[in-house]
Amino acid sequence: AQKITQTQPGMFVQEKEAVTLDCTYDTSDQSYGLFWYKQPSSGEMIFLIYQGSYDEQNATEGRYSLNFQKARKSANLVISASQLGDSAMYFCVRGSNYKLTFGKGTLLTVNP
């Protein structure tokens, strides 16, 4: 199976600091997409950012940026200026052939 690996089960960050959540992935596809989703304790899945495999520039969405290193099959999420509301589970996701494959997630806790 083509895996998504998130090596950090839990991360802590101080409010207003930046944090990087790691993600590596397996794929044999030429065309694929990489996503990050946030899941707060309420359970809803919130889309954060998307990177296409052919996109040459790293994706950015407000405080979120995706550090895409294709040769290393790495797609780390960087959250700048963390806020208390950023505390949640974060999933790295690969999209291929219309299907999404989820990593195991990283639980981020933002401390005041």
Partner 1 sequence: GAVVSQHPSRVICKSGTSVKIECRSLDFQATTMFWYRQFPKQSLMLMATSNEGSKATYEQGVEKDKFLINHASLTLSTLTVTSAHPEDSSFYICSATQGITRYTQYFGPGTRLTVL
For partner 1, the binding residue among 42, 71, 72, 85 (CB under 8 A) is 42
Q: How far apart are CA 20 and CA 46, in angstroms?
A: 18
Q: How far apart are CA 5 and CA 65, in angstroms?
A: 18
Binding mask 52-91 vs partner 1 (x if CB under 8 A, - otherwise)?
A: ---------------------------------------x
Binding mask 91-110 vs partner 1 (x if CB under 8 A, - otherwise)?
A: x---xx-xxxxxxxx-----
Q: How far apart are CA 56 and CA 36, in angstroms?
A: 18
* Residues ≥6 apart with Cβ < 8 Å to 1: none
Name the residue nearer to partner 1 (CB basis): 28 or 98: 98
For partner 1, the binding residue among 10, 18, 47, 60 (CB under 8 A) is 47
Q: Minimum distance between the CB of residue 51 and partner 1, rounded to whole angstroms?
A: 10
For 64-111, what is the HEC assignment? EEEEEECCCCEEEEEECCCCHHHCEEEEEEEEECCEEEECCCEEEEEE
Q: Minimum distance between the CB of residue 35 and partner 1, rounded to whole angstroms?
A: 7
Instruction: Pull the structure tokens for residue 44.
Output: 């809803």
Q: Which residues bind partner 1 (CB under 8 A)?
A: 31-33, 35, 37, 42-45, 47, 50, 91, 95-96, 98-105
